[in-house]
Amino acid sequence: MFKAFVYHRQAPDFTGTTLYPLNRLKERLPALYENAVKKYKGREWLLNVTIPPLDCLWNDVLHFSLMHPSVIYKSLVETGFNDSTRELLWFEIPLEDILTQPSTIYLNTRPWQDEKILRNSDFEHPTAAHVRTLSEMPEINLQYYRDCAAKEERPLLWKRAPHLLLKGELDVTNYRVFDWREVV
């Protein structure tokens, strides 16, 4: 039987055993929040966007990649980014542990950034079978990588790929941590 996993990047300054959404990080560990929120530079409006199926803000959820990090790594290298010496550590989290909590799949298939809102139709209910079908690198994300390479800009890792969103925090004590250069 297929065992589905989702992945969360371990921040270089990660401490403790719990992943916190940005809003909780801001309350509990303000210095770490200040560093983490930098990834929203130029996209600050996202921090106030509501996720309709979870009835919360974008920064009230944890974001997980459906793609194995080695797929992201390989795609970046193939599109012109030399990440061969760049260590990024990731948590491997069994999907079944996420599905017991309020969660949704953000499909990320439309250019909603112009509207600055999210619709119910941007989300789907997560299941293991659905995660499996969405776990490959989408062509739109590869094109985004190519566009960034042409502009010599560092891309966001899954800007145009589906995300699994979990409302709340997650204890990661028992999850495997690995380098994204590890081949699946």
Where in the chain are the domains? 5-179
Q: What is the pLDDT of residues 21-52, one digit of tens each?
A: 999 999 998 988 888 888 888 878 888 899 99
pLDDT < 50: residue spans in the chain: 1
Q: What is the rounded CA–CA span in Å between residue 148 and residue 82? A: 13
pTM of the model: 0.90
Q: Which residues contact 180 (CB under 8 A, 6 or more apart)?
A: 69, 70, 72, 73, 88, 89, 90
